Amino acid sequence: MNNTNNKKILNTSIEKAFKILDCFSTDTIELGVTEIAKKIGTNKSAVYRMLATMETLNVIQQNPENEKYRLGLKLFELSQKVSIHKNFISKARPFMEELVKRAGETAHLAIYKNRKVYFLDKVVGRHDLQINSQIGTEKPLHCTGLGKVMLAFAEQDYKKNIENIQLETITENTITDKKKLITEIENIKKTGFALDLEENEIGLVCVAVPVFSTKGKFIAAISTSGPSARFNKNEIKTYTGDLKQTAEELKHIFS
């Protein structure tokens, strides 16, 4: 019985440690104890104890100037040994390249991370359009096709997710009304694809679809992006078909 209890305690501790790690991002490099406690929904004393242990292991480092915490070098060491993202990208890359050959437009592969779109890979189309996206960076969910797909399929309660995110105005076309966004997400769940109609960047349209495992678990999202002049209704229908075909191919390599 004691072994069982210890196992439960260990699992809870690991879960809390990973929740703390997930608080950090490329935009949020340092955080204080109070900020972390608020993000993961627990008390400051519990967070402080976890941080003290993680700091000892060099997983977390404290900035002596402001007493805030940041990710430690141990994580970098581990990433050099095993890179899941690189493995994921290398398997997906041939299918993404084939998608670009068919569509002619730039394709993106992204995952749901820190309640944002995290770009894993980008394959530039033959038109070589300059798109404001970089591998390893994040974008908001509400104003991108990839993000809308994630709102629809990454978690069960998309309405609660929308209520918990700030709908910042990026362009004049960005949806900032939460009821309107919920309606759009409901439609995405029915059709299986999402559109970004110049909502993140003026002049740029994006079509995105989800990638599921053979067991139906959401894995990632893929998209095709290009100038609004080339993305008429007929083209969008073609791009959507190409994307869904690629998503079906990716399904079998990530299961």
- State the pLDDT confidence band at 9, using cuts at 50, 70 and 90: very low
pLDDT digits (tens, 9 = 90+) for 183-233: 999 999 999 999 999 999 999 999 999 999 888 889 999 999 988 888 877
d(CA 107, CA 94): 12
pLDDT at 4 over 50: no
Q: How many CB atoms lie within 10 A of CB 97?
A: 11
Residue listed under structure tokens 């509400």 = 142
Closest CA to 206 of 240, 176, 180, 177: 240
d(CA 18, CA 7): 17
Q: What angle do CA 214, 159, 42 make, to 5 degrees?
A: 95
Q: Give me the pLDDT at residue 241, please.
A: 93
d(CA 59, CA 54): 5
Closest CA to 35 of 24, 168, 27: 24
Closest CA to 69 of 58, 80, 85: 58
Beta-bridge mates of residue 108: 122, 223
pLDDT digits (tens, 9 = 90+) for 18-73: 999 999 987 789 999 999 999 999 899 999 999 999 999 989 999 888 999 999 88
pTM over 0.85: no
User: In order of start, what are the domains of the chain with their CATH numbers?
Assistant: 2-79 (1.10.10.10), 84-253 (3.30.450.40)
pLDDT digits (tens, 9 = 90+) for 164-175: 888 999 999 999
Average pLDDT on 70-82 reads: 74
d(CA 148, CA 208): 8
How far CA 14 is from CA of 9, 21, 34, 73, in Å, comes to 9, 11, 20, 19
Please give the backbone phi and psi of residue 35, each rounded to the nearest 5 degrees, phi first: -65, -45
Mean of pLDDT over the chain: 87
pLDDT digits (tens, 9 = 90+) for 106-162: 999 999 988 899 999 999 887 656 676 778 888 999 999 999 999 999 987 888 889
- Extract the tokens encoding 180: 């309107």
